Chains A and B, each alone.
Chain A
Amino acid sequence: AQKITQTQPGMFVQEKEAVTLDCTYDTSDPSYGLFWYKQPSSGEMIFLIYQGSYDQQNATEGRYSLNFQKARKSANLVISASQLGDSAMYFCAMREGRSGGSNYKLTFGKGTLLTVNP
């Protein structure tokens, strides 16, 4: 079974509007971390936002927020006030287990290509 599922291969949004990118995950570990990365056409993976499984509040970083619904195992990324520079691939990733332990590697989804239209 896929550990990270991103069901939207592509999304379009008008500049200045908000957009939600979907991510569901599968783990039996009670301790895990969820990450979102942006990958522009240049190829570099840019860290956007992190949510820990025990965090009580949804993570926010500027225009990025993570809609964390633990019971549904979903961790959707919300980008507010989209900008043309937001056009890129977006990847959801998970680290299973505690960070200080032996678990460290990230498992990525297949990504969503976001296009922001002027």
Chain B
Amino acid sequence: DTGVSQDPRHKITKRGQNVTFRCDPISEHNRLYWYRQTLGQGPEFLTYFQNEAQLEKSRLLSDRFSAERPKGSFSTLEIQRTEQGDSAMYLCASSLMGQKNEQFFGPGTRLTVL
């Protein structure tokens, strides 16, 4: 049983560096989401893909953030010129279209910007 996987699980970087995270969704899921979770808060929506099309970006996603899902399978989230405020857990989720549209989450990538 392969769930959603994310890589890396932890990333420590210096301010100003670029980082890239990868998400592999459940294989038959056509929807993929990125969320960000800061300490003491629930996850906040960042962006959403249906197959390879990015259909919405939250205003939380500044110009330094970019996400891709080139073949409708895995996705990458890149943060350029990282800032200390980017430190958070980045969660990926996937789902099938359907009544529930329940989203299954990966283990997350914890980013620390020094």
Please report A residues at the B interface, Cβ cutoff 8 Å. 4, 33, 35, 37, 42-47, 50, 52, 91, 93, 95, 99-100, 102, 104-111
Contacts and interface: CB of A to CB of B under 8 A. Distances in A.
A42 B98 CA distance: 29
Interface pairs A-B: 8 shortest CB-CB: A108-B42, A45-B105, A99-B101, A105-B45, A44-B107, A43-B108, A50-B100, A91-B42
A104 B106 contact: no
B44 A108 contact: yes
Contact of A45 (B31, B41, B43): B43
B105 A44 contact: yes
B57 to A, nearest CB: 11
Given A44-B105, A44-B106, 11 more contacts: A43-B108, A95-B101, A99-B100, A104-B101, A105-B56, A106-B103, A108-B44, A109-B42, A110-B40, A110-B41, A111-B42
A45 B91 contact: yes
Nearest to A46: B105
B41 to A, nearest CB: 6
Contacts of A52: 99-100
B65 interface: no
Interface in B22-42: 31, 33, 35, 40-42
Contacts of B93: 45
B110 interface: yes
